[in-house]
Amino acid sequence: MSNLNNESNTSKTGFKVAIVALGLFLLAALGGVYHYSNQSTAFANKTTLLKSELTELNEERLGLEAEVSQLTANYEAETIENTELEAKIVAAETKIKGLKNRIYKIKKELSDTKISNEALQQRIADLNAAKEELFVQIANLETDNKGLNAAKESLDVELAATNDENTELMAQVEVLTAKTTRMQQRLFTLAPAGFQATGFQIQVAGRKEKLTSKAKQARAIKVDFNLANIPTTLQKEHEIYLVITDGEGIPVSKIASTPIDVPTAEGALKVEIADMKTIALNENQKLSMAFQPTDKMDAGLYNVALWSNAGYLGSAAFSLR
C-alpha cells in the first residue's frame, strides 16, 4: 500500500514539472515573437526614413538644376553681373559636393545594415539609379561651366577692347568739346539769340527703346535741354531747330535733314536741320527733340547744335562706338 502511494506522488510531481516546462517554453516563444516584431518595426521605420531622405535629395537636386539653368540663362546678360554669376556657380558646385557626401553617407548606412528584405533591397537599387542620374547631371553641369568660363573669357577680352575704345573716344570727345567751346563762343558772338540752351542730355536708343552706345544699333537719338531765363521781350512763339554734324562740323548723310536759313550778324547761314519744333516760350521750360537715322550710324564723334529763328542757342557733343 505504501508503494502505491509513493508511485502516485511521483506521477503528480512529474506532471507538475512538465506543466512548468511547458509554461517556460511558451514564455520564451512569446518573447521571441515580441523581439522579432520590434526588430521588423525598427527596420520598417529606418526604410521609411531613408525613403524620406532620398525624396529630399531628389527635390534639392531638382532645385539645384533649376538654379544652375537660371545661371546659364543669366550669364549672357550685362557684364556687370559677372562677379555675381561666378559666386553663384561656386555656390552651385558647393551644393553638388554636399549632395555627393550625403548620398555616400546614406549608401554606407544601407550597406552596413544587416537587412535582407526585398523592399529595402529595391530601395537601395533605386538610390543607386538616382545616384547615377545625379552623376550625369553633375557631368552636364561641369560641361556647362566650362562653356560659361570660355564665354566669360571671351567677354573679358571684348570688355578690355571696349574699354580701350571708350578711352580713345573719351579723349576724342575732350578734343571735340574744346572745339565746340571755341565754336560756341564764336557763334554766340556772331548769332546771339538772346537766350541759351543748357543742361543737354543725349540718349541713343536701340531695339525696343533700350539705351545703347553702339553706332550700328542706334535707332533713335533724343536730345533733352533747358531754355531758361528767357527775357520778357523774347517770351513769344519761336521755331527751334536741331542740327546734327560729325566731329568736323559736316552734316551727317545718314540723317534725313532739311536745309533752312538761320540769322547771324553776317547774314543768313544755311544749316541742315534734323528736327524742328515751334513753341511759345515762357521764362523757363524743358524741351525734347529727336531724330531717327535712315541707315546704320558710323562709330565716331557727333555734335548736336540748337538754333532758333532768333539765332544760335548752344551745342553738345556725343560719341558712338
Q: Domain for residue 289, yes or no?
A: yes
Q: Which residues of the chain have pLDDT under 50?
A: none
Residue in the block written with cell 506521477: 11
Q: Do 107 and 209 belong together in one domain? A: no
Tally of structural domains, the chain: 2
Identify whether 168 is part of a domain.
no
Residue 174, domain member (yes or no): no
Q: Of 118, 142, 160, which residue is a domain's last?
A: 160
Identify whether 32 is part of a domain.
yes
pLDDT (0 to 100) of residue 213 = 85
pLDDT at 122: 79
pLDDT at 85: 72
Considering the domain boundaries, does residue 82 fall inside one? yes
State whether 150 and 198 are in the same domain: no
pLDDT at 110 (0 to 100):
61
Burial class (CB in 10 A: 0-12, 13-18, 19+), 314: buried
The residue type at 127: L
Same domain, 7 and 124: yes
Is 167 inside any structural domain? Answer: no
CA 78 to chain centre: 8
Please, are residues 285 and 271 in contact by the beta-carbon 8 Å criterion? Answer: no
6 and 123 in one domain?
yes
Q: Does some domain include residue 115?
A: yes
197 and 147 within one domain: no
For residue 256, tell me if it sits in a domain: yes
- Report the DSSP beta bridge partners of residue 312: 192, 307
Nearest to 259 by CA among 268, 272, 269, 247: 272
List beta partners, residue 244. 304
The residue among 160, 179, 212 that closes a domain is: 160
Shared domain check, 62 and 156:
yes
Examine the domain organization and report whether 23 and 142 are in the same domain.
yes
**156 with 234, same domain?**
no
Q: What is the CATH number of the domain that holds 301?
A: 2.60.40.10
pLDDT of residue 221: 92
Do both 209 and 153 map to the same domain? no
| 251: number of Cβ within 10 Å | 15
Enclosing domain of residue 131: 2-160
- Same domain as 304, residue 205: yes
Q: What is the pLDDT of residue 3?
A: 55
Report the candidate in 188, 191, 281, 305 with the shortest Cα–Cα distance to residue 230: 281
**Beta carbons of 60 and 102 less than 8 angstroms apart:** no
Q: Do residues 262 and 271 touch, judged by C-beta distance below 8 A?
A: yes
Q: How far, in Å, are 69, 140, 154, 241 from residue 65 at the CA level?
A: 6, 10, 25, 57
What pLDDT was estimated at residue 21? 77
Residues in the chain, overall count: 321
**What's the pTM?**
0.47
Residue 210 and residue 133 share a domain: no
